Structure 1
Amino acid sequence: MKQDIATYPVILTEYNDESGHYYVVTSPNIQGMVTDGETIPEALENAKDALATMLANDPERPEVQDPREWTLDKGQQTSWVSVNMTRWLNKYGKTVRRNISIPADLNDWAKKNKINVSKVATEALYDLQEA
């Protein structure tokens, strides 16, 4: 079976603020894609899930931009993220984007403990569905 691999450039922005030291990942190619991690590898791993979630419902994927043409701010760097959409869709199926609100202290705890909140919410809902 042919695998559908999606690869896009992303921008990693390093932060050192009241929430601690972490990296935020965004992509000018994928409007609204935002995720983070305490380390660059963790942030890029989380970006795979964020990228797949954003692309899962988009029948026409955005054209891949050349990151060499982007203007970066201090503390920013580019990287590439690839995700096997075939495997991801087999595991999670079609997704929809939902915004949820959680208490700030719980959000801080999730960041500190490297927890992907979207993944936890999805798994919790599956558990409730099966109950």
Structure 2
Amino acid sequence: MKLSYPVCIYPNDTEPGFTAIVPDLPGCVTCGDTMQEVFEMAVDAASGWVLTELEDGNLPPKASNIAEVHADEYPDGFTSMVFLDMDEYAQKWGDKAVRKNCTIPAWLNSFAEKANVNFSAVLQEALIEQLHVNS
């Protein structure tokens, strides 16, 4: 899932650097020492905000039209866009567990339980190998 959101960037008043606010994601505020860093931090903060919503079973908020988002309430502020690759971010940072129910033969279950097999670990390892995912 790829998303984009308007972001308001403005220079800090009391210290060097910049602050970024993503108005569509309440409380999503970050800062950086350079313009490049503040954009990187904005992408990271917005991605983390959206990932939390997704892991809680919610849809991400709809992005506002950039023409309707104004950073002029801040001196020298401007509006830009941040682009989020949620699949990549979730693969790297997502950690919420999801319960999966599967069926195996009773005889195999008996052998596995006697050997103290961790079923979740075996399934995770098999999926990682099957999907060629680097964990």
Q: Smaller-chain TM-score range? A: 0.5 to 0.7
Partner deviation per Cα, 1:36-80 (whole Å, 9 max, x = no partner): 001111100011110111001222111111122234222210111
Q: Tell me the secondary structure at the aligned position of residue 90 of structure 2.
A: helix
| Distance apart, 1:82 and its partner CA | 0.8
User: Are 1:42 and 2:41 matched, yes or no?
Assistant: no
Identity %: 24
In the other structure, the counterpart of 2:62 is: 63
| Distance apart, 1:31 and its partner CA | 0.5
- The CA distance in 1 between the partners of 2:31 and 2:90, in whole Å, is 22
CA contact (8 A) 1:15 1:22 kept: yes
Q: Give unpaired runs (5+ residues) of structure 1.
A: 96-131
In the other structure, the counterpart of 1:87 is: 88
Partner deviation per Cα, 1:83-110 (whole Å, 9 max, x = no partner): 2110110111147xxxxxxxxxxxxxxx
CA contact (8 A) 1:35 1:43 kept: yes
CA contact (8 A) 2:18 2:31 kept: yes
TM-score scaled by length of structure 2: 0.62
Decide which of 27, 33, 58 is 1:32's aligned counterpart: 27
Q: Give unpaired runs (5+ residues) of structure 2.
A: 97-135
Between the two proteins, the alignment pairs up a number of residues equal to 90
CA contact (8 A) 1:57 1:94 kept: no
**Larger strand fraction of residues:** 1
Q: Report the aligned-residue RMSD.
A: 1.4
Q: Tell me the secondary structure at the aligned position of residue 87 of structure 2.
A: helix
**Which structure's CA Rg is the greater one?**
2
